[in-house]
Amino acid sequence: MSEKQAGIQEVLELAPVVPVLVIDDAATAVPLARALVAGGLKAIEVTFRTAAALESIRAIAAEVEGAVVGAGTVLTADQVSQAVSAGCRFMVSPGASPGLIAAVADCPVPLLPGSASASEAMTLLEQGYTFQKFFPAEPAGGAAYLKSLASPLAAIRFCPTGGISRDTAGRYLALPNVICVGGSWVAPADKVAAGAWNEIEDLARDAAGIKA
């Protein structure tokens, strides 16, 4: 593994599922993260899709024992700097633009860059990225597509994300080139809004026990 991804394998091996969170209200971040960690999902991705993302990352990093919080949907150099300053432990991007790759060249926090084709995956591999996000997983070909990459691109392990559900997670996790999956089903928006933390903890516990 490249030094630029030092520590990412340990994060991705914490549980079979990494929750992918879109947090609208930063006040929900800490109790949500605590519920996920209590259920066994310690690696938590908070996406840069809302105005509350940065504050949420900062709060989880500071207040939730056991949480390994990451910044998702990282697209720009500014977001890299903001995420690192907020205390994130890993970053995730949907793709891998030249500007983003340059921005993380000397970054102390590892990036899980996204790829959706063999060519994109090979390009990232040439730059030392042996762990990649496969996104958007279901629209891009699903588990069957990833299975077809396992032999020719044996050096890469993927975290597929995008459209994966509780029912489909197992078929991805059964693949030799999949280290974990990303999913949002463990934190449904209605349960977050209702503060149903016990129910979210139960969903997390179920996800943490998914077997290939």
Render each residue's pLDDT in the chain as its tens digit; 212 residues: 467 799 999 999 999 999 999 999 999 999 999 999 999 999 999 999 999 999 999 999 999 999 999 999 999 999 999 999 999 999 999 999 999 999 999 999 999 999 999 999 999 999 999 999 999 999 999 999 999 999 999 999 999 999 999 999 999 999 999 999 999 999 999 999 999 999 999 999 999 999 87
Catalytic residue among 133, 138, 199, 201: 133
| Spatial CB neighbours of 33, under 8 Å, sequence gap ≥ 6 | 44, 60, 64, 67, 69
- The whole-number pLDDT of residue 188 equals 97
Task: Please give the pLDDT value at position 211.
Answer: 85
pLDDT at 3: 75
Query: Cα dist. 59→24, 53, 63, 88, 187 in Å?
Result: 14, 10, 6, 10, 18
Token pair belonging to 131: 């762990």
- Sequence-distant (6+) residues with CB within 8 A of 170 are 210, 211, 212
Known catalytic membership, residue 42: no
Cα–Cα distance list, 197 to 93, 130, 201 (Å): 28, 35, 6
| Confidence (pLDDT) at 2 | 62
Tell me whether residue 137 is exposed, middle or buried, using C-beta atoms within 10 angstroms of its C-beta: 0 to 12, 13 to 18, 19 or more: buried
How many whole angstroms separate alpha carbon 182 and alpha carbon 55? 22
Q: Which residue among 3, 4, 45, 211 is the active-site one?
A: 45
Question: Which distant-in-sequence residues (6+ apart) come within 8 Å of 177 by Cβ?
Answer: 146, 147, 149, 150, 153, 154, 156, 157, 158
**Three-state helix/strand/coil letters over the chain:** CCHHHCCHHHHHCCCCEEEEECCCCHHHHHHHHHHHHHCCCCEEEEECCCCCHHHHHHHHHHHCCCCEEEEECCCCHHHHHHHHHHCCCEEECCCCCHHHHHHCCCCCCCEECEECCHHHHHHHHHCCCCEEEECCCCCCCHHHHHHHHCCCCCCCEEEEECCCCHHHHHHHHCCCCECCEEECCCCCHHHHHHCCHHHHHHHHHHHHCCCC
Q: Is 4 a catalytic residue?
A: no
How far is 23 from 187, CA to CA, in rounded Å? 10
